[in-house]
Copies of this chain bind each other. A is one copy, B any other.
Amino acid sequence: MNELDLIAKLTRSLPSNKSVVVGAGDDCAVLDLGLGDKRLLFKTDAVVEGIHFDSTTSPKKIGRKALARCLSDIAAMGGTPTAALITLALPRDFDVAFVEKIYEGMNELASENGVAIAGGETTTNPERILISISLIGTVAKDKCILRSGARVGDAIFVTGELGGSLPQKHLEFEPRLEEGRWLAENFSIHSMIDISDGLAGDLRHLLQPGNLGAELLASAIPVSRAARLQARAESSAKPALLAALTDGEDFELLFTIASRSAVPLIDGWKKRFPKLRLSCIGKILGKPGLLIRDEHGVRSFNAHGYVHFA
């Protein structure tokens, strides 16, 4: 059983209460705790040695990435992060300096983003380091952007460049917090997600519960330089476009907006974020499936993004 099937099984009938606006299945849980015009965002995310990093990875970057992944999920709701708790599960013979460096990386990124680290705990995991971060944030009640909400005819946008993130970018990416907030505040964004499992895989989350599809224009997909170089360097490597569609760990924002708003959005973006690429890569269709249009015509894309436990 893979991760997605397991999650589907476990989340079928979870206990709820009146605080829950959005439960399992979005980038963050959304809770109404009577915060006036704000809602609480609540997220947890873990990285594991040997899976998400290894013992040769810079510990500062491990810590940075662990927190950055959570911040990226807050960004994908249009929210602002507030405070994190850190769970550190360590082998008994852990290296104190290594653990301190992990914290250094987390602390730096937290400070840059005004996030408090309000505590946490340490426990034992004999074989490997596991870092689980729990994060809360807030979002204006009427500006919270969910994964659901895409409409037929929406233009599909993505920030930055995709693919080839594994050698470097996945450890150094900037969570798109400012961009997510700006989008939420200035435009009617219909749906949004951050890309962790690959463009193709995460786009499917915006097409749920299954009645929508998407058509992407191959030439519009912002393939990263890293993906192009990798494709050129190794004959066994994925073609660069496939890397952009499936590599994952990009942590860019993927969102949909009414097509009539596409031009004002692009104009506004260029003024506000002149250094960060924004690409309109396709449109939402009224029937299921993911289509890729290139110079040869339209093809169906069946490969999935990265699936854990596969």
Contacts and interface: CB of A to CB of B under 8 A. Distances in A.
Contact of A121 (B14, B44, B99, B115): B44
Interface in A1-56: 1, 3, 6-7, 9-11, 13-17, 19-20, 23-26, 29, 31, 33-36, 38, 40, 42-48, 50-51
A165 interface: no
Interface stretch (A125-133, A171-179, A225-233): A125-133
A36 B87 CA distance: 29
Given A15-B117, A33-B35, A126 B46 contact: no
A164 B15 CA distance: 32
A208 interface: no
A135 B15 CA distance: 14
Interface residues of A, number: 73
Given A9-B96, A42-B136, A43-B85, A308 B119 contact: no
A134 interface: yes
Contacts of A36: 34, 36
Interface in A54-70: none
Contact of A119 (B25, B48, B87, B110): B25
- Interchain residue pairs A-B with the least CB separation, the first 6: A29-B118, A24-B119, A134-B134, A14-B117, A44-B85, A15-B110
